[in-house]
Amino acid sequence: MLEFPAQANEFSLDQFLKYRNDNVATDPIYQGRVAISLEEQKSAVNSEKLKCYQKIVYGPSTHEGNYCNTTWDGIACWDSTHAGDVAQQQCPSYIHGFYTTGLATRRCMSDGQWYVNPEFNKSWTNYTGCTSSVIPNPSHFIESHLERLALMYHTGYGISLISLIVAFVLMIYFRRLHCPRNIVHLNLFASFIFRAALSFLKDNLLVQGVGLPDDVSLPSLGAIFFKEGGPHWECKLLFTTFHYVLLANYFWLFIEGLYLHTLIIVAVFSEKSRIRWYLLMGWVGPLVFVIPWMFVRLFVENTLCWNTNPTPAYFWIMRSAIVSSIIINFAFFLNIVRVLFTKLKSYSTPKSRRCRHRRLAKSTLVLIPLFGVHYMVFIGLPDDVSATLELIRLYYEMFFNSFQGFFVALLYCFLNGEVQSEIRKKWIRYKLKTNSRKFQKIYWQTSSFKFGKNPSQSHLVNSITSERRDFRNPQLQTSSEASSEDERKRIQMSDDPMHSNGYRLSPTPKTIENTRPIIYLKPTDEFG
């Protein structure tokens, strides 16, 4: 039975957990904490167990009267102790994650029996002093910021989740947006949605970051017990799924960079043929790394809920793919910026050269969240840094990891001109369908003045009026069909509000050339 100290705050910051637990030095004892492989730990435990049994069998007791016998508790050997005393010893140096500077204690009761924990109905050793940092116990400087970090973390993922769902629905709804480029965007949106949803799910289901409620117990204030018996497959499945989704998100960021780089630099294969390979790479590719890691954890290092990494080399099965995708994407980013700068430099006129740097900066800022360039800032930073630099990294990574989905949805959906155009046309069609005379009057005013200055801009009206019509008033339909071509080209707008076929534009009559009237449209075709 392993015991963990309870935390004052709910610990759900994945980056901080990863920083404290995953990046352990290869030295046997690192800053007082033991860091050895599972094989070395098993070998050391078996050796100590054999020594303890030899002491039990061959070692004579030096105590008289009532006392507790020498015993092996599964981790360490405890010598015979007088009744009513509390035995203590230094934490063993062969258990991964233990701090050798701490003390373990075991109570001998007055009846000469070792203390039995009523929660588990077996003798119990208090290893709280040894495991005070198995679940990271940050410094007071960082701990004072945990509440703000958690607030930013949850706010960012909440905003990202809502905006990504809206963007995903818009992209799916408008069929004119269904092109290879937007299909890649949709899959990137989906990966961010899954990442945010699983982050919320994991934070709400886990008990202080250790395991699900069935995997842990809280017998007393200040301690968390992880129940080692049982498969614990639910929490292991949760963390395996989370790692898959996280890896898929990085893969789709890489695919976005690869797609844009291929489109600009190479442009050899057709877009449709590439999409199938992109889909396969984005959703099946992560399994190439997750499945081997899962088998290693299952048969070699089956500890806790797979939420810690006692052997960092095993976790590099997945981390290597993430780091590689970040570095390659950064190379794509630099090459695309170089090409954009070259084209702007060669095609710009002397008058437009002053705007060249502004356009290049704008294009670069748009590409940063798409390529995940911000991951490069701290990718090479060592782990043993000062608390101030560590806190800066936490704020930076927590902010961009949680808000990146919102930035992607904003840049590639809400600020997309094609999406805005489809929404605008849908709104115009809705208002015309509901027979809003006020809207038709305002629409005719704005559109007629605009088209009067530039007749070529009348494509929006023509695109709407070219739809199949179903006039609600048969008399208006008959009169419209009876009008001649000359009358169609020349429409007299009267300021008389009682005029049945006119709309008042100004106090004086207005004549608009080459404009076809709209009379209570009921479109049956869809633009999407």
Q: What is the DSSP string of 288-356?
A: HHHHHHHHHHHHT---TTS-S-SSHHHHHHHHHHHHHHHHHHHHHHHHHHHHHHHHHHHH--TTTGGGH
Residues 207 and 307: their CA atoms lie apart, in Å, by 12
Task: With a cut of 80, say whether residue 6 has pLDDT above it.
Answer: no
pLDDT in tens, 254-309: 999 888 888 887 755 555 667 888 999 999 999 999 999 999 998 888 888 888 88
Q: Which residues contact 445 (CB under 8 A, 6 or more apart)?
A: 503, 505
Residue 161, classed as helix, strand or coil, is helix
pLDDT for 63: 66
Q: Work out the angle between the directed axes of helices 387-409 and 180-205 (0-180°, nearest 10).
A: 130
Strands 116-117 and 81-82, sheet pairing: unpaired
Query: Model-level pTM?
Result: 0.61
**In 10 A of CB 86, how many CB atoms?**
11
Residues in the chain: 528
Percent of the chain with pLDDT over 90: 20
Q: What is the DSSP string of 444-458?
A: HHHHHHHHHH-GGGG
How far apart are alpha carbons 278 and 289 in whole angstroms? 17
For residue 273, the model assigns a pLDDT of 62
More confident residue, 100 or 166: 166
Distance CA 336, CA 412 (A): 18
The 3-state DSSP class for residue 475 equals helix
pLDDT-based confidence at residue 524 (cuts at 50, 70, 90): very low
Q: DSSP E strands: which ranges in 130-240?
A: 216-217, 223-226
Q: Are 233 and 17 in contact (CB under 8 A)?
A: no
The structural architecture, per CATH, of the domain 153-216+230-415 is: Up-down Bundle (1.20)
Instruction: Calculate the average pLDDT of the chain.
Output: 73
Sequence spans of domains, the chain: 2-123, 153-216+230-415, 421-513
* ∠ CA 283-286-291, rounded to 5°: 125
| pLDDT in the model for residue 459 | 41
- Supply the pLDDT for residue 528: 35
User: With pLDDT > 70 as the criterion, what percentage of the chain qualifies?
Assistant: 66
- Closest to 98 in 3D by CA, of 130, 74, 125: 130
Between these two residues, 227 and 437, which has the higher pLDDT value? 227
Query: Per CATH, is 2-123 categorized as 4.10.1240.10?
Result: yes
384 CB-near residues (< 8 Å, 6+ apart)? none
Q: What is the pLDDT of residue 42?
A: 85
Instruction: Examine the pLDDT at 383 and tell me if it is beyond 70.
Output: no
Q: Which of 19-23, 42-46, 186-190, 317-321 has the lowest mean pLDDT?
A: 19-23
For the stretch 412-416, contacts whose Cβ atoms lie closer than 8 Å and that sit 24 or more positions apart, written own/partner, are 412/167, 412/185, 412/370, 413/166, 413/167, 413/170, 413/171, 413/185, 413/189, 414/163, 414/167
Residue 62: per-residue pLDDT: 66
More confident residue, 32 or 386: 386
Q: How many CB atoms lie within 10 A of CB 436?
A: 13
The whole-number pLDDT of residue 349 equals 63
Q: Is 422 exposed, middle or buried (0-12, 13-18, 19+ CB in 10 A)?
A: buried
User: What pLDDT does residue 5 have?
Assistant: 34
The per-residue pLDDT for range 123-141, each reduced to its tens digit, is 888 887 786 544 444 456 6
